[in-house]
Amino acid sequence: MNANKIKIIFMGTSHFAVFHLKELLNYYKIVCVITKPDNYSNRGQKLTFNPIKKLVLQHKINILQPSSLNNKEFLNSILKYKFNIIIVVDYGLLIPPSILNIPSLGCINVHASLLPRWRGAAPIQRALYENDTQTGISIIKMNSYLDAGDIIYQKKCDIHLNETYGTLHNRLCILGLKGLLYVLNIFSKGKDIILKPQNQYDIKTTYAKKILKKESKINWSLSAKKIECIIRAFNPYPGTYFLLKNERFKIWYAEIVDNNFNKKISVPGEILYVNINSSININTINGILKIKVIQPSGRIPMNIRDFFNNKKYIKLFSKGKILK
């Protein structure tokens, strides 16, 4: 079998999926793309397309957007296409056995973690959230369980000191694509793939639950280190914020001053020190968080010097104020 004989149905939704699909179009025949249905945004006023659909429309590829994968109508619709492999990249739904069993080369999934760690919806962000020092890419042969299939390929990746969701996402896109092209090349040559079963009872098995909007509000009763991890995990999406006098401020970059320091006379969220040229120091349950890049509601992110060019913030962010 050569590359020309590999016929792909691609399933994906996000920007992570777009990165892979865009490159696959240069090498392989994509007979159909399956993605999630369109959503309404702005309180239901505007119909929006996900990143995969936008790319598909540009390339005029066949597209399906089923609300369910478990009905005969959808099954019959994909059987119209001649394909021998399904590639899933951040699609967002479990694939039922009725579909998994169709292609002769199987269904493979590109997942942004070192499985079995961080199965689920948000593996990149949860790795940062928990201050992991290493992550990577796993390509698995899918089964009917969540990210639990046999491993075809894995590649490790160190997490940098100031890594954000955005920077790690982009690095894992590159690793994932390289791995996917490597695996497809093996398939195209007709070679056997060595599978590594996942131990379902491995103590390393963890689940990356979906990021909820309520998690983006900073809890100053956490340690400075934990808050700093969350800021990086939620940068650029969904962002982290606090309230002061009912005004919302996002934090995009912060540093830990002293992770073992806590002033007994201060409370979590209290402004301990302000330097209008460089930082705002906030007390936490353990350690001090130094805010370096901040974004007032309706404004762009800015460093502290630019932020305090607005004189009202000098008074608002005075020592002793409590952030909520």
User: Per-residue pLDDT tens for 266-283?
Assistant: 799 999 999 999 999 999
- Residues (pLDDT < 50) of the chain are none
Tokens describing residue 323: 């952030």
Determine if the peptide bond prior to 97 is cis (ω within 30°).
Answer: no
Q: For residue 203, what pLDDT is reported?
A: 67
What letter does residue 316 receive in the DSSP assignment?
H
Distances (CA, A) of 303 to 167, 217, 280, 293, 307: 20, 20, 11, 5, 6
Q: What is the dihedral of CA 183, 201, 14, 240, to 10 degrees?
A: -140
Q: For residue 266, what pLDDT is reported?
A: 78
Q: What's the CATH number of domain 3-208, 3.40.1710.10, 3.40.50.170, 3.30.750.24, 3.40.50.1240? A: 3.40.50.170
Q: For residue 27, what pLDDT is reported?
A: 93
Name which of 80, 88, 44, 40 is nearest 62 in CA terms: 80
**Second-level CATH architecture of 213-316:** Roll (3.10)
Separation of alpha carbons 319 and 289, rounded Å: 14
Name which of 240, 232, 13 is nearest 124 in CA terms: 232
Q: For residue 117, what pLDDT is reported?
A: 95
Contact 135, 168 (CB under 8 A): yes
| Domain parsing of the chain, residue ranges | 3-208, 213-316
Separation of alpha carbons 178 and 274, rounded Å: 46
